Amino acid sequence: MTYCVAIKLKTGLVFCTDSRTNAGVDQVNSYSKLHRFNSFADRKFFLLTAGNLATTQAVIKAMQNDLEAGAPFNLANAHSTTEVADYVGRLSVQIQQKYVAGGPMAGFDASASFIVGGQILGREADIYLVYPEGNHIAAAKKHPFLQIGETKYGKPIIERIINSQTAPETAMLCALVSMDSTIHSNATVGPPVELLYYAKDNFQGEDTQYFFDEGDPQLAKLSNAWNDKICAAFSGLPPLGDPFYN
Amino acid sequence: MTYCVAIKLKTGLVFCTDSRTNAGVDQVNSYSKLHRFNSFADRKFFLLTAGNLATTQAVIKAMQNDLEAGAPFNLANAHSTTEVADYVGRLSVQIQQKYVAGGPMAGFDASASFIVGGQILGREADIYLVYPEGNHIAAAKKHPFLQIGETKYGKPIIERIINSQTAPETAMLCALVSMDSTIHSNATVGPPVELLYYAKDNFQGEDTQYFFDEGDPQLAKLSNAWNDKICAAFSGLPPLGDPFYN
């Protein structure tokens, strides 16, 4: 599996993902699930991917091919990030349909989910969650984050900490803590961890990026500090009162 | 949905469950999911239930009927808690099969999961997770807890705090914090919350029980204290170091 989270802040967008993939327990690998389309003067897009690796790779490849071939619709001529989310959904469904038309592949799961984020000059920076069915939802002011993959373990901390006014450094740290909780509880999610902050309107400059490999001392330090602090927080809780009956 | 957790301690067993059930959004109700079989001199059993409410109610009813009718196998003559877990699995599969034999109910999900816990005089107090397929697993010394329903939100805190040596008060508090995180993140899990501690060999005495209804001040106090402490713990984390490139 996978865990990816994206956060839409007032100042920009945060993306965080693990890199573990598995096609059965004897084929556990590491692939980047954070894809950057950042060679334009007036736009920048990011894609987080979860689900069938062949499907997600084929979608990325098709996006690159459309761009190079100057297809009627491609990333360079899109008018909005919503259009790009639509486009990713369309490609994903097309690719999945090759494998699910019954026959020898019946029952095979080619489905994939995506988070599409980015900005086009003059428009808002935004994030979208593209479902396996190809449709998508946007983040909302009251719910400024989107998750795909193993989303549940790391959701409580994000809900407690994040709102759209959160500072980028805090949001990045929170995404990493959310990732750490997920890695702790689910063996199919693991390092390397990629973390990126896109400051809005930064179309041509570098983004703020972190890459934490397996055994990275900074990630280990954060993980230990968080564990210690959670245990201390727990032991500081008021005791339960009198039972119902004893 | 549901969230139930059971913990096997050196000193006894902890059970915690929410009480929200829903059969579609217009039929959200509250049913106890903690069932007690405690009218024996030499044994005591507890059942936590998740999944299709009709199935879980039918299983409980069948267990009561078998007991009253003195069936060849019933709770009063079982030799071990494992046998009881087997029995619950058998009943569950029988009941589900009535609804899944194709025909008008094809595609209908009658599945249910159970945690069976308890003790028989002279034997260890133990807990088992019974899958919808009827088979079961036991808790292990290295993994002294079992969960059913919406298990993921509340798993990280239990993994950080609980081991088999944990004091009963601490384990009960941790189960409640785990429940609180789940209620926060998932609208289908909600109060009343039931919490019970069975001290081993306590076959005839009362168990330590808590019942927290919607708006219970003690539960609200715990929930607020935990939220404050988590936020404080988070703000005490060391900041991220220098990015990869900026």
Q: What are phi and psi of B2, to 5 degrees?
A: -155, 155
Q: Which residues of B touch A (CB under 8 A)?
A: 150, 152-153, 155-157, 159-161, 169, 172-174, 176-177, 181, 184-185, 206, 208-211, 218, 221-222, 225-227, 229-234, 236-241, 243-246
CATH hierarchy code of domain A3-235 = 3.60.20.10
Strands A28-30 and B12-18: unpaired
B130, B139 contact by CB (below 8 A)? no
> Which stretch of A97-111, B2-16, B136-150 has the lowest confidence by average pLDDT?
A97-111
| The pLDDT value given to residue B105 | 64
Give the global pTM. 0.88
> What pLDDT digit, counting tens, does each position of B63-93 carry?
999 999 999 999 999 999 999 999 999 999 9
Report the residue of A170, A172, A193, A234 to disrupt the B interface, i.e. the one with the largest count of B CBs within 10 Å.
Answer: A234
Kindly report the nearest CA distance between residue B103 and chain A, in angstroms. Answer: 21
With CB atoms and an 8 Å threshold, state whether A157 touches B230: yes
> What pLDDT digit, counting tens, does each position of B121-136 carry?
999 999 999 999 999 9
| The pLDDT value given to residue A113 | 97
ipTM score here? 0.85
Q: What is the mean pLDDT of each run of 10 residues along chain A (246 residues)?
A: 95 94 65 92 96 92 96 97 97 88 68 97 97 96 94 93 96 96 88 95 95 91 94 93 71
Domain boundaries, chain A: 3-235
| The pLDDT value given to residue B246 | 44
Q: How far apart are CA A243 and CA A80, in angstroms?
A: 58
Kindly report the nearest CA distance between residue B182 and chain A, in angstroms. Answer: 8
Buried b (16+ CB within 10 A) or exposed e, A98-124: ebeeeeeeeeeebbbbbbbbbbbeeee
Residues recorded for chain B: 246
Kindly report the nearest CA distance between residue B235 and chain A, in angstroms. Answer: 8
- In sign, the C-alpha dihedral spanning B145, B147, B152, B154 is negative
Report the residue of A5, A15, A16, A155 to disrupt the B interface, i.e. the one with the largest count of B CBs within 10 Å.
Answer: A155
With CB atoms and an 8 Å threshold, state whether B240 touches A150: no
